[in-house]
């Protein structure tokens, strides 16, 4: 079936810590993207990462398409990193994204 699964569902860290969020996706999904939904509800695109590694400041993402997973790394966490992180993949043969259930990240000061 078409699946995108994220882990862990919840993560609570102290400011300054590093974190790794994981996304597993099924064979029928590709073209992974990562989004951050801030506490005000705004969804922000972080990475479009079908394969390989990208970095943007303290955030980086790696997708290993052959093994059907993607990782989002957040280093030196700040309280503004709090929110829900979603990964989503494009259903092959269709212009539709399927989303994982999200990882809720809470960064405490």
Partner 1 sequence: DAGITQSPRHKVTETGTPVTLRCHQTENHRYMYWYRQDPGHGLRLIHYSYGVKDTDKGEVSDGYSVSRSKTEDFLLTLESATSSQTSVYFCAIGGTSGASTDTQYFGPGTRLTVL
Scanning the structure block, which residue is given the tokens 């705004």? 42
CA 106 to CA 83: how far, in whole Å?
Answer: 7
Question: Nearer Cβ to partner 1, position 58 or 96?
Answer: 96
Question: Nearer Cβ to partner 1, position 17 or 91?
Answer: 91
Per CB under 8 A, does 42 bind partner 1?
yes
**Interface characters, 2-41, with partner 1 (x: CB under 8 A):** -----------------------------x-x-x-----x
- Within 13 Å and on the Cβ side, how many CA atoms surround 34? 30
Q: How many CB atoms lie within 10 A of CB 83?
A: 22
Dmax over CA atoms of the chain, in Å, equals 45
Q: What are phi and psi of 67, to 5 degrees?
A: -105, 5
Among 61, 88, 105, 107, binds partner 1 (CB under 8 A): 88
Least Å distance, CB 86 to partner 1, is: 7
Interface ranges with partner 1 (CB under 8 A): 31, 33, 35, 41-45, 48, 86, 88, 90, 95-102
């Amino acid at each position: 079936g078409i699946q995108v699964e994220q882990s862990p569902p919840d993560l609570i860290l102290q400011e300054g810590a590093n974190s790794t969020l994981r996304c597993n996706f099924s064979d029928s999904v590709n073209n992974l993207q990562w989004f951050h939904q801030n506490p005000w509800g705004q969804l922000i695109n972080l990475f479009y990462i079908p394969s390989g590694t990208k970095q943007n400041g303290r955030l980086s993402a790696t997708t290993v398409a052959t093994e059907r997973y993607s990782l989002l790394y957040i280093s030196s966490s700040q309280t503004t990193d709090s929110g829900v992180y979603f990964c989503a993949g494009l259903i092959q043969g269709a212009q539709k994204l399927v989303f994982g259930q999200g990882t809720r990240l809470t960064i405490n000061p």
